[in-house]
Structure 1
Amino acid sequence: MSQPVRTVFLVLLLWFAGLGAATQFAKIAVPFAEVGWLYPGNADALGWLLSIISLTGAILGTLSGAIASRVGPVRLLLTGLVLGGAISLWQATLPGFPMMLVSRVIEGLSHLAIVVAAPTLMSQITQGRGRNIAMVLWSTFFGVAFALNAWFGLPVIGALGLPAYFALHGVLMLLIAGVLAACRLNISFDTSAARVFGLDVFIDVHRRTYRSPFIAAPAIGWLFYTLTFVSLLAILPDRLPEDIRGLIAGIMPLAGIIVSWLAVPLLLSVTTGITIVSLGFGMSIVTIGLLPLGMPLPIVCVALFSALGLVQGGSFAAVPELNPTPEAQALSYGAMAQMGNTGNLLGTPILLAVLWRTGEAGMFGFVVLVYLAAIAAHVWLGRRRRFETAQ
Structure 2
Amino acid sequence: MAGANTPLQTEPQQTAWLEVFLLWFAGISAAMQFAKFSVSYNELLDYYQAGPTLTGASISVVGTIGLIFGVTAGLVAGKIGYRKVLIGALLLGASLSLIQSFMPAFEIVMATRVLEGFSQLGVVIAAPTMIAKLSAPQHRSITMGLWGTFFGVAFAITGLVGKPLIAHFDLSGLYLAHSLLIGSMAIALFVLLERNESRYGSAPQASSDSYLTKLGKVYRTPRTLLPGLVFVFYTCTLVSLLTYIPNFIEQDSLRTTMQVILPLLSTAGTFIAGALSQYALKPQRVAQIAYIGLACGALALIQGIETPLIFCLIVGQMILFAGLIPGAALAMIPRLARNSEEQANGYGIIAQLGNLGATVGPPSFATFITLFGLYGLAGFVMFICLMGSLFAYLALRLES
Fold match (TM-score > 0.5): yes
Aligned to 2:216: 207
Aligned to 2:55: 46
- Structure 2 counterpart of 1:334, one-letter code: G
- How far the C-alpha of 1:263 sits from its partner, in A, is 5.2
- 1:251–1:143: structure 2 CA closer, same or farther, 3 Å change rule? same
1:369 to 364, 376, 383: 383
1:248 to 255, 258, 262: 258
Q: How does 1:58-207 map to 2 (within 5 A)?
A: 58-185=67-194, 186-188=196-198, 189-193=201-205, 200-201=210-211, 203-207=212-216
- 1:138–1:381: structure 2 CA closer, same or farther, 3 Å change rule? closer
Aligned to 1:230: 239
- Structure 2 counterpart of 1:321, one-letter code: R
Q: Does the 8 Å CA contact 1:84/1:170 hold for their aligned counterparts?
A: yes
Q: Does the 8 Å CA contact 2:15/2:136 hold for their aligned counterparts?
A: no
Give per-residue Cα distances to partners, 1:15-54, cap 9 Å, x unaligned. 0100011101001112211121122133332211011112
- 1:332–1:173: structure 2 CA closer, same or farther, 3 Å change rule? same
User: Which deviates more from structure 2 when the two are superposed, residues 64-73 or residues 267-276?
Assistant: 267-276
- How far the C-alpha of 1:260 sits from its partner, in A, is 2.7
- How far the C-alpha of 1:157 sits from its partner, in A, is 0.9
Q: Does the 8 Å CA contact 2:202/2:339 hold for their aligned counterparts?
A: no
Q: How does 1:184-333 map to 2 (within 5 A)?
A: 184-185=193-194, 186-188=196-198, 189-193=201-205, 200-201=210-211, 203-240=212-249, 241-262=251-272, 264-295=274-305, 296-333=310-347
- How far the C-alpha of 1:196 sits from its partner, in A, is 10
Q: Does the 8 Å CA contact 2:369/2:376 hold for their aligned counterparts?
A: yes
Q: Does the 8 Å CA contact 1:81/1:174 hold for their aligned counterparts?
A: yes
Structure 2: runs of 5+ lacking an equivalent: 1-11
In the alignment, the residues of structure 2 paired with residue 176 and residue 51 of structure 1 have an alpha-carbon distance, to the nearest angstrom, of 24
In the alignment, the residues of structure 1 paired with residue 160 and residue 181 of structure 2 have an alpha-carbon distance, to the nearest angstrom, of 17
User: Which deviates more from structure 2 when the two are superposed, residues 47-56 or residues 79-88?
Assistant: 47-56
- 1:156–1:5: structure 2 CA closer, same or farther, 3 Å change rule? farther
In the alignment, the residues of structure 1 paired with residue 327 and residue 367 of structure 2 have an alpha-carbon distance, to the nearest angstrom, of 29
Q: Does the 8 Å CA contact 1:88/1:169 hold for their aligned counterparts?
A: yes
**TM-score calculated relative to the size of structure 1:** 0.92
- Structure 1 counterpart of 2:318, one-letter code: L
Q: Does the 8 Å CA contact 2:100/2:175 hold for their aligned counterparts?
A: yes
In the alignment, the residues of structure 2 paired with residue 288 and residue 104 of structure 1 have an alpha-carbon distance, to the nearest angstrom, of 36
Q: Does the 8 Å CA contact 1:17/1:176 hold for their aligned counterparts?
A: yes
Aligned to 1:30: 39
Aligned to 2:5: none
- How far the C-alpha of 1:316 sits from its partner, in A, is 1.1
In the alignment, the residues of structure 2 paired with residue 373 and residue 262 of structure 1 have an alpha-carbon distance, to the nearest angstrom, of 22
- How far the C-alpha of 1:4 sits from its partner, in A, is 9.3
**1:380 aligned onto 2:391:** no
Aligned to 2:349: 335
- How far the C-alpha of 1:360 sits from its partner, in A, is 1.8
In the alignment, the residues of structure 1 paired with residue 193 and residue 273 of structure 2 have an alpha-carbon distance, to the nearest angstrom, of 34
- 1:216–1:294: structure 2 CA closer, same or farther, 3 Å change rule? same
- 1:275–1:163: structure 2 CA closer, same or farther, 3 Å change rule? same
User: RMSD between aligned alpha carbons?
Assistant: 2.1
Q: Does the 8 Å CA contact 1:61/1:112 hold for their aligned counterparts?
A: yes
**TM-score calculated relative to the size of structure 2:** 0.90
- Structure 1 counterpart of 2:29, one-letter code: G
- 1:192–1:371: structure 2 CA closer, same or farther, 3 Å change rule? closer
**1:20 aligned onto 2:29:** yes
In the alignment, the residues of structure 2 paired with residue 45 and residue 194 of structure 1 have an alpha-carbon distance, to the nearest angstrom, of 45
Q: Does the 8 Å CA contact 1:63/1:205 hold for their aligned counterparts?
A: no
SS in 2 for 1:138: helix
- 1:171–1:194: structure 2 CA closer, same or farther, 3 Å change rule? farther
Q: Does the 8 Å CA contact 1:57/1:112 hold for their aligned counterparts?
A: yes
Q: Which runs of structure 1 show a deviation greater than 2 angstroms over 4 or more consecutive aligned residues? A: 3-6, 41-44, 184-187, 189-197, 203-206, 259-264, 292-297, 377-383
In the alignment, the residues of structure 1 paired with residue 292 and residue 380 of structure 2 have an alpha-carbon distance, to the nearest angstrom, of 14
Q: Does the 8 Å CA contact 1:124/1:187 hold for their aligned counterparts?
A: no
In the alignment, the residues of structure 1 paired with residue 260 and residue 173 of structure 2 have an alpha-carbon distance, to the nearest angstrom, of 25
- How far the C-alpha of 1:205 sits from its partner, in A, is 3.6
Q: Does the 8 Å CA contact 2:204/2:341 hold for their aligned counterparts?
A: no
In the alignment, the residues of structure 1 paired with residue 372 and residue 302 of structure 2 have an alpha-carbon distance, to the nearest angstrom, of 16
SS in 2 for 1:214: helix
Q: Does the 8 Å CA contact 2:227/2:395 hold for their aligned counterparts?
A: no
